[in-house]
Amino acid sequence: MKKLLLSSIIIIIGITFLGRLSYLQLFSFSPNQILEDPAIKTVYDYPERGYIYDRNGELLVGNQPAYDVMVIPRETKTLDTLEFCGLLGLEKEDFILKMKKARRYSPRLPSVLVAQLSKEDYASLQEKMRKYIGFYIQKRSLRDYVTNSAANVLGYISEVNETDLRTNPYYTAGELKGRTGIEKQYEDALRGRKGVKYIQKDRFNRDIGKFKNGKLDTLPELGKEIHITIDKTLQEYGELLMHGKRGGIVAIEPNSGEILAMISGPTYNPDLLVGRERSKNYTKLHYDSIARPTWDRSILAEPSPGSPFKTLNALAALQEGVIQPKTKFRCYNGFYVGKNKKGCHCGGGVRDLNSGIFNSCNAYFAGTFRKIYGKYKTTDEGMDVWEKHMKSFGLGNYLGTDLPTGRPGRIPNKAYYDKAYGDGRWASSFIISNAIGQGEVAATPIQLANMTAAIANRGFFYTPHIIKQIGNNSSLDPIYTQRRYTTIDKEHFEPVIDAMHNVYKYGTAKWLRIPGIEIAGKTGTVENFTRIDGERVQLTDHSIFVAFAPVDNPKIALAVYIEHGYYGGRYAGHIASLLIEKFIKGEITRTDLEKKMLEKTLEHEYAKPLSGEPFKINEYYW
Amino acid sequence: MLRRIDWLTVFLYGLLVFFGWINIYSTTLSDTSLSLFDTSTLYGKQLFFICISLVSILIIMFVDTNFFERFSGVFYVLGLILLLGLFPFGKVIGGAKSWYDLGFMNLQPSEFVKVAAALALAKYLSDIQTDIKNKKHQFYAILVILIPLLLVLPQPDPGSALVFFALFFVLFREGLPIYYLGLALLFIALFLFTLMFGTIWVAIGLGMLVSLFFFFKRPDLKIPTLPLIIFIVGCLVVSLSVNFVFENVFEQRHRDRFGLWLNLEKDATKLEQIKKTIGYNTYQAEKAIESGGFFGKGFLEGTRTKGDFVPAQHTDYIFSSVGEEWGFIGTALVIVIFTLFFLRLVQIAERQKREFSRMYGYGVIAILLIHYFINIGMVIGLLPTIGIPLPFFSYGGSGLLFFTAMLFIFLKFDASRLNEGI
């Protein structure tokens, strides 16, 4: 016993020590040593954020300097709080609160105390800064917008929040990050990589040299400049035309899938989301739940497509061989579904494919649609075939663009109706509205523009994209350069395109002809409903227009969607014509059209359902 | 002679001294690169001390084995005189008047007295007339330990004073009843529990333990009532006196150290304050060790070591440098080497034929072990801050010299054990 006493004590001590050491060095060890080490100061060198240019090399977004007041809580000494607050333009309570927050984030790492000082404030503060130990000014660059347009396309950047800091180890407090649009999608390229310098410090916080002789230090990697496919002139002009109107416009170059313009109305000046007023402005924009300026209608709105959708039904019917271009249907100023008559504005008479499209005859397409389904034994089978054709145009699913948001739209399939009505409890009469682009189909403006591009290309499209060039590298991801073929054979497109051409020559858009440009288009007038006090109320129809031009060698395909603009040939048609002319000719010859669009607003229409009083819809005069 | 030296122990000793110096080099290296032997640098000085220690080993090896036993009494008295001499002539370093200034080095006589006390105790106990069962002899033996302790304590150097307690292990080995140790542990436990939970809870706990004992004891076992009552009352008196001692005898810094160690301080801001002041060393040392992780940051790459974040890192806190630069691999290795070293010494002590050699051996082991235990325990945050060096590792001339001498005198005894009759 007494001989073993000492030996056992030696062994027990050894085991205890090893236990404690493994607790310290193996379990408590955090791999993030460099950032937590009080002996290492991390100094960042921020590269300038990449510039954004339009397709023609015109600058859209540059940078301007800004100055953040940073604090490292651990290093602060007692200070004259009131005087310092006065210099910063802060309330004392605010200051205390911010200091607390900074300390909670990390006593050792810098936090932002006041973000984005103006140059004048910076100048006056800079001289006195040395008095305040633990505080310093960090230069950053802020966005400087050369254009007032394309706010939703370009997106905005803002300071990283606590979630970003938790989820992405790259960022440290006070850094900026793209939140929407291009800024978000191409954040990594635009941002570049900050350079890092690690400095060895002693316990008096003095620098005593480079950590590991600078072996881990990195040089900043410049943000890459980005060229996007947007045409600045077209974008700005489109936004001008959207004055006082709500809706979305997307223009695509059919032979590349490049997005030429992406306009959403109402919009806002991107400059509002820069600088110290940013959060105030953002709140104002974000909480405008009526006009919703930050909601990009060009990619997020999902109206029923209306009559432009008829062209796809015609193509599907031709492909299925159930109609020929010469096949005729009689219009009784409408058509019958069982005993119910549904109306038509085309004027009645016998319609073939051509006049069915350019007069937008509902009866003709109801007949066509029935024939597609009639080819198959059951509605289910017909539905599958129809769904396949429609989806091949990029409808009913996310398009796969390089925009950070989007919506799938809707091509209803049998599962959809089974769910809505019950299996076997619906028939083709339930879905006949889809023949004319009403009913359950829905598509975003970008899907409509893309569908138009597919028609313009006679059977294929490229996934729409907004990136043209990153840095010096103009070769894109192959998903943007591969053709996506529709299920319709090429020869079926000509009769439909002829008819769409005739929409301008003789049809619903004959007043919108532009001298010297051959346009193919299709109007759409879309019934829509809302709920006011729980009651379903019909509102003035949406005005929709799709078009591409020139007919033989399409340079632009676009879709215009104007909320409550009534006939497709009115607001949407006018805007489409003007944009096509602007893009192809570079100038406007039909100044009467232009004047009308620049002056007219739809605010009165948008005020109706909010007024709380009874109102008329689809008023004739405009 | 040389062939009989226990080379395994010498090898382990060499490892410790070498690795210790490596770490001293790292903690005291400054930017201006100087020669290794430049005695203006601390690592250079330590190298010089190592050489002196080697010389001392040679001297010990050539001195007659009986010299140490014969003169142990003289050494002891000389040591006590040196300790007394500190009061008028001592040099104050770090608030303690524990050093003589010899010009080329500062000599700490308490280090010498440790050796002398171990020799003297062994000498007294191995005397043919001494009987450890005899209470009077027990008292004399304890006196040998207590006198230097009481001289060291007021320097003030409570750390070194604590070391003399280790010599009790010699007594236990030689037959002092083990329950003395039990009583001491009980006393310590009572002290700590009272600090942590208060007298009332200690009394309740004690009552429950006694009840349990009566509940489970064999029915025929008769417990004398009087000693039991004395025991319980004694415990309560100790417990009641703890607060008095803690508040009146201890100084504030001691209270803070205990408070930090036992987590007595519940107020978060005060705790933060304590961590930054009195607990700063421990906190920084723990953090430095923790930051080493499994592999460590590498030799000369310890950021906290370079930045001098751990105060006194080359002396008492040298182990934190091992932790930071060599990681768990390094620290575990040091612990394993020390453990093997001590076990080997116990083995050697037990094979001594002469009682004097064995007792002296136990004294050496006990002194080295308590240094090792308290030092590393403190650096890794298991024990309150008590400033004593890590043998063979920490910077310091007297320490290294006398630890070495102490060890090699023992090895010398061991090497010559076969030549001697009993």
pLDDT in tens, A105-130: 878 778 888 887 777 778 888 888 88
**Buried-state track A16-34, b at ≥16 Cβ within 10 A, e below 16:** bbbebbbebbeeebeeeeb
**E strands, A151-202, where?**
157-159, 176-178, 195-201
Residue B420 has pLDDT above 70, yes or no: no
| pLDDT tens-place string over residues B264-315 | 766 777 777 777 777 788 888 888 898 888 998 888 888 888 777 888 888 8
Residue A556 has pLDDT above 90, yes or no: yes
Q: Which residues in B lie closer than 8 A to residue A211 (C-beta atoms)?
A: 303
Identity of the residue numbered A260: L
- Is B342 close to A10, i.e. CB distance below 8 A? yes
Q: Which one has a higher pLDDT value, A214 or B394?
A: B394
Residue B422 has what pLDDT? 44
Question: By mean pLDDT, which of A42-46, A217-221, A348-352, B417-421 is the weakest?
Answer: B417-421
Residue A547 has pLDDT above 60, yes or no: yes
Q: Please tell me whether residue A608 adopts helix, strand or coil conformation.
A: helix
- Is B335 close to A10, i.e. CB distance below 8 A? no
Question: By mean pLDDT, which of A71-75, A93-97, A315-319, A425-429 is the weakest?
Answer: A425-429
Q: Which residues in B lie closer than 8 A to residue A5 (C-beta atoms)?
A: 169, 172-173, 178
- What strands lie across the sheet with A258-265, from one edge to the other? A258-265, A247-253, A556-562, A535-549, A520-532
- Is B169 close to A5, i.e. CB distance below 8 A? yes
Quickly tell me which residue has 């059951």 as its tokens: A378
| pLDDT tens-place string over residues A230-263 | 999 999 999 999 989 999 999 999 999 999 999 9
Q: If you count them, how many residues does chain A have?
A: 622
Structure tokens at B132: 């450890």
User: Which residue from A6, A25, A33 is facing B346, i.e. has the nearest CB?
Assistant: A6
| pLDDT tens-place string over residues B93-149 | 877 888 888 877 788 899 899 999 999 999 998 888 888 888 899 899 989 999 999
Q: Which residues in A lie closer than 8 A to residue B306 (C-beta atoms)?
A: 39, 200, 202, 208
Residue A229 has what pLDDT? 95
- Is B172 close to A2, i.e. CB distance below 8 A? yes
C-alpha distance from residue A22 to each of A18, A26, A29, B64, B291 (Å): 6, 5, 9, 46, 12
User: Which residue from B173, B306, B331 is facing A39, i.e. has the nearest CB?
Assistant: B306
| pLDDT tens-place string over residues A149-177 | 999 999 998 888 889 888 888 888 878 89
Angle at A188 between CA A187 and CA A193, to 5 degrees: 125
In angstroms, rounded to a whole number, what is the distance separating the alpha carbons of residues B110 and B148?
8
| pLDDT tens-place string over residues B212-239 | 877 777 777 776 777 778 888 888 888 8
- Is B173 close to A209, i.e. CB distance below 8 A? no
| pLDDT tens-place string over residues B37-92 | 666 788 888 999 999 999 999 999 988 888 988 999 999 999 999 999 998 888 88
- If interface means Cβ-Cβ distance under 8 Å, which residues of chain B face chain A? 31, 169, 172-173, 175, 178, 286, 289-294, 301, 303-304, 306-309, 323, 327-328, 331-332, 335-336, 338-339, 342-343, 346, 350, 362, 365-366, 369, 372-373, 376-377, 380-382
Single out the residue of A108, A125, A109, A127 nearest to residue A117, CA to CA.
Answer: A125
Q: Which residue of B has its CA nearest to A202?
A: B307
Q: Which residue of A has its CA nearest to B181?
A: A5
| CB of A212 less than 8 A from some CB of B | yes
Mean pLDDT, chain A, whole residue set: 89
Q: Which residues in B lie closer than 8 A to residue A216 (C-beta atoms)?
A: none
Question: A21, A33, A200: best mutation site toward chain B, by most B Cβ within 10 Å?
Answer: A21
Quickly tell me which residue has 């954020």 as its tokens: A49
Structure tokens at B362: 């136990």
Burial tier of B286 (Cβ tally within 10 Å: 0-12, 13-18, 19+) = buried
pLDDT above 90 covers a percentage of chain B that reads 36
Structure tokens at A132: 């305040």
- Is A37 close to B303, i.e. CB distance below 8 A? yes
In angstroms, rounded to a whole number, what is the distance separating the alpha carbons of residues B294 and B285?
16
Q: Which residues in A lie closer than 8 A to residue B304 (C-beta atoms)?
A: 37-39
**DSSP for A517-566, written as a single string:** ---EEEEEEEEEEEEETTEEEEEEEEEEEEEEESSSS--EEEEEEETT--
| CB of A35 less than 8 A from some CB of B | no
In angstroms, rounded to a whole number, what is the distance separating the alpha carbons of residues B306 and A213?
13
Residue B1 has pLDDT above 70, yes or no: no
CB B24 within 8 A of CB B16: no
Structure tokens at A204: 């008096």
Q: How many CB pairs under 8 A join A and B?
A: 112
| Distance of residue A607 Cα from the nearest chain B Cα, in angstroms | 59
Mean pLDDT of B358-383: 93
In angstroms, rounded to a whole number, what is the distance separating the alpha carbons of residues B393 and B301?
19
Regarding an ipTM greater than 0.85, the answer is yes
Q: How confident is the model at residue A322 (pLDDT cuts 50, 70, 90)?
A: very high
Residue A407 has pLDDT above 90, yes or no: yes
| pLDDT tens-place string over residues A347-365 | 888 999 999 998 889 999 9
In angstroms, rounded to a whole number, what is the distance separating the alpha carbons of residues A560 and A545?
5
- Is A20 close to B362, i.e. CB distance below 8 A? no
Q: Which residues are paired to B47 by β-bridges?
A: none
| pLDDT tens-place string over residues A263-277 | 998 999 998 888 778
